[in-house]
C-alpha cells in the first residue's frame, strides 16, 4: 500500500492468528527510518522484533506469541 512515498507491506493473518495484522516498511537509510511517521492505524513499533516477524509466526497460535506482544 503506498504511503507518503513508501510502500507498506501488510500481512493479514488468518486461522490461529486471526486478527493480527503487521505492516512492514523498508527504508534506504537509518535516517529515513528514524524520521518515518507511521499512519494512525499502526499500533506498536516492532522494529527489530525478529520473534514477531511475519515468517517467524507461521504455524503459531496467539498463546505462543502473547508474551512477546505484551512486551511491545
In the numeric block, the cell 520473534 is attached to 51
Radius of gyration, CA atoms only, the chain: 13
The mean per-residue pLDDT over the stretch 16-35 comes to 91
pLDDT at site 56: 80
Per-residue pLDDT tens digits for 35-60: 999 999 998 888 777 777 767 888 88
72: pLDDT confidence band, cut at 50, 70 and 90? confident
CA geometry: angle 66, 1, 40, nearest 5 deg = 60
Amino acid at each position: 500500500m503506498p504511503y507518503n512515498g513508501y510502500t507498506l507491506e501488510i500481512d493479514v493473518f488468518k486461522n490461529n492468528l486471526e486478527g493480527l495484522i503487521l505492516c512492514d516498511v523498508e527504508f534506504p537509510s537509518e535516517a529515513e527510518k528514524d524520521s518515518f511517521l507511521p499512519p494512525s492505524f499502526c499500533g506498536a513499533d516492532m522494529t527489530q522484533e525478529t520473534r514477531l516477524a511475519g515468517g517467524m509466526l507461521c504455524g503459531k497460535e496467539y498463546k505462543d506469541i502473547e508474551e512477546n506482544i505484551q512486551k511491545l
